[in-house]
Amino acid sequence: MGMTLTEKILAKHSGKDRVSPGDNVWVDVDILMTHDVCGPPAIGIFQKQFGENAKVWDKEKLVIIPDHYIFTADKYANRNVDILRAFAAEQDLPYFYDVGTDSYKGVCHVALAEEGFTRPGDVLFGTDSHTCTAGAFGQFATGIGNTDAAFIMGTGKLWVKVPETMRFVFEGTSMPPYLMAKDLILKIIGDIGVDGATYRTMEFAGPGIKALTMEDRMTLTNMAIEAGGKNGVVEPDAITEAYVKARTNHPYELVYSDPDAKYHSERYYNLEEIVPMIAKPHSPDNKATAEELEGTYLNRAYIGSCTGGKLSDFRAAAEIIQSNKVKIDTFIVPATTEIARGLETETIFGIPLIEIFKEAGCQIGNASCAACLGGPSDTFGRLNSDEICISSTNRNYPGRMGSKQAQVYLASPYTVAASAITGVITDPRVFIQETVI
């Protein structure tokens, strides 16, 4: 019997010919990523367990990307970045993307891809639940806690329980013009629930997926964790290789699921039948269509984060926002500095995206996680009281973007942009038929 992509990667990294779901295996780690929230405690555990002067197992494989609480006056948050800085210096780490320097990147999951760390066939762990984003590249990638990260820093290994794989097949050859990857994943999460994939792999397949860009595939795999998934994967192809080769010379291995691999379950979707989706407060599986919620009052819109703050997300939003004014407070936060530069160079009808947003009355923030997870009270775009926000981010549990009195609707950048212009929830198809060629 064959194996899935995930099983093959875990078998290879644990020195076995084959593994089966439920096996506990110790795998060799290719990359460990940490950031400013979980890095300092992980470093603390590492030093306590391996000694004050211990060295990490392989400095080429540890990537530290501060991104969460960056543009804040909070003294504890700034102290945490100082801890990372001191550790990177002491360990002489080549991959530390320090705040306030030219190497500063922003949101870790997008930065990992941009810097060439998301390589097919590899095993990547990160101290952040959305580490599953990197599965878009045919990599095994998942989030872990500080103790596990400290264990890897010292040993280069970690135990993993081999997950069963759920397969989601998208039929149809191309994305309809009003649809984004965010709609597909909100639809899936709404169907299977926030624990519908707990302990499992979510494998996204079918001609509909092959038609997606890398950025769109990352939106899908990013939110595997919102269904409880251990990881999300897409088989690599020419699009994957083109992205990876442009960013690293490091070797990689293309791994595919066998045709006779055993799946936990398979679900089929037709792209033509999916419509713009929304997750209502206060859970990512509280699904509705944008059409059903048309007219719902809003007073805040937010476009940003690892799942909804990539260049293609802003391009989509700008297509709708151009030559309009936003009616409610609208915050634009590029995930990384590379994307922030893209906002200046990418144009629609010759106008840079950043000008389109400014002209429409949006506020533009610095590359970071910003209000995606609330953060200290001075965080850009944070919901500080009972705001009702539509957001391209990935979580809307109570208090996720700040105050637990606030309400958050999750939607695609198209839907967020359309709603920002009208001030109420709006199906983007209204605008797309008018403006997008």
Partner 1 sequence: MSTTLKPIKGKAFVLGKNIDTDQIIPAAHLVYSLDDPEERKFYGKYALSGVPSAESGLPQGNIPLTKEGKTESEFRIIVASDNFGCGSSREHAPACLEIAGVEAIITPTYARIFYRNCVDGGFLIPFESYEDLSKEVHTGDELEIDQENFVLKNHTQGKEYKIKPLGSVADIVRAGGIFEYARQNGMVAKI
Of the candidate residues 136, 185, 197, 306, the single one contacting ligand SF4 (CB under 6 A): 306
Of the candidate residues 58, 93, 155, 291, the single one contacting partner 1 (CB under 8 A): 155
Beta bridge partners of residue 25, listed in sequence order: 160
Of the candidate residues 13, 300, 310, 395, the single one contacting partner 1 (CB under 8 A): 395
Under the criterion CB under 8 A, does residue 248 sit at the interface with partner 1?
no
Considering only 73-81, 106-114, 141-149, 159-167, which stretch makes contact with ligand SF4 by CB under 6 A?
106-114
d(CA 391, CA 205): 27
By C-alpha distance, which of 404, 406, 409 is closest to 392?
Answer: 409
Under the criterion CB under 6 A, does residue 167 sit at the interface with ligand SF4?
no
Under the criterion CB under 6 A, does residue 128 sit at the interface with ligand SF4?
yes
What are 299's two structure tokens? Answer: 């007073």
Cα separation values, 299 from 389, 413, 416, Å: 6, 16, 12
Give the residue with the Cβ less far from partner 1, 79 or 250. 79
Under the criterion CB under 6 A, does residue 369 sit at the interface with ligand SF4?
yes
Under the criterion CB under 8 A, does residue 398 sit at the interface with partner 1?
yes
394 touches, from partner 1, ligand SF4, none (C-beta below 5 to 8 Å by class): ligand SF4
346 touches, from partner 1, ligand SF4, none (C-beta below 5 to 8 Å by class): none
Question: Contact letters (x/-) for partner 1, 94-133, by CB under 8 A?
Answer: --------------------------------xxxx-x--
Report whether 196 contacts 164 (CB < 8 A). Answer: no
Beta bridge partners of residue 351, listed in sequence order: 348
Under the criterion CB under 8 A, does residue 263 sit at the interface with partner 1?
no
Under the criterion CB under 6 A, does residue 394 sit at the interface with ligand SF4?
yes
Under the criterion CB under 8 A, does residue 352 sit at the interface with partner 1?
no
Concatenate the DSSP letters of all residues of 316-366 into one string: HHHHHHTT---SSEEEEE-SBHHHHHHHHH-EETTEEHHHHHHHHT-EE--
265 touches, from partner 1, ligand SF4, none (C-beta below 5 to 8 Å by class): none
| Buried/exposed 415-427: b ≥16 CB within 10 Å, e otherwise | bbbbbbbbebbbb
Give the residue with the Cβ less far from ligand SF4, 47 or 403. 403
Beta bridge partners of residue 34, listed in sequence order: 64
Give the residue with the Cβ less far from partner 1, 69 or 269. 69
Q: Which of residues 400-419 bind partner 1 (CB under 8 A)?
A: 400, 402, 404
d(CA 154, CA 145): 15
Question: Contact letters (x/-) for partner 1, 18-37, by CB under 8 A?
Answer: ------x------------x
Give the residue with the Cβ less far from ligand SF4, 58 or 338. 338
d(CA 416, CA 425): 8
d(CA 123, CA 141): 6
Of the candidate residues 39, 66, 120, 228, the single one contacting partner 1 (CB under 8 A): 228
Q: Is 171 exposed, middle or buried (0-12, 13-18, 19+ CB in 10 A)?
A: middle
Residue appearing with tokens 């990352």:
218
Of the candidate residues 232, 304, 342, 374, the single one contacting partner 1 (CB under 8 A): 374
Under the criterion CB under 8 A, does residue 375 sit at the interface with partner 1?
yes
By C-alpha distance, which of 302, 316, 340 is closest to 106?
Answer: 340
By C-alpha distance, which of 423, 413, 244, 403 is closest to 335?
Answer: 413
Which helix (H) or strand (E) covers residue 307, if one does?
A: helix 305-308
Of the candidate residues 16, 25, 28, 44, the single one contacting partner 1 (CB under 8 A): 44
Q: Which of residues 265-304 bind partner 1 (CB under 8 A)?
A: 283
Under the criterion CB under 8 A, does residue 41 sit at the interface with partner 1?
yes
Residue 211, amino acid = A
422 touches, from ligand SF4, partner 1, none (C-beta below 5 to 8 Å by class): none
By C-alpha distance, which of 164, 136, 140 is closest to 265?
Answer: 164
288 Ramachandran zone, left/alpha/beta (phi>0; psi -120 to 50)? beta
Give the residue with the Cβ less far from ligand SF4, 289 or 394. 394
What are 247's two structure tokens? Answer: 């960013």
Which helix (H) or strand (E) covers residue 28, if one does?
A: strand 24-28
Under the criterion CB under 8 A, does residue 77 sit at the interface with partner 1?
yes
Task: Give the CA angle between residues 62, 64, 70 to the nearest 5°.
Answer: 175
Interface with partner 1 (CB under 8 A): 24, 37-38, 40-41, 44, 49-51, 68-69, 74, 76-77, 79-80, 126-129, 131, 143-148, 151, 154-155, 157, 159, 161, 194-195, 198-199, 225, 228, 230, 283, 373-377, 395, 397-400, 402, 404
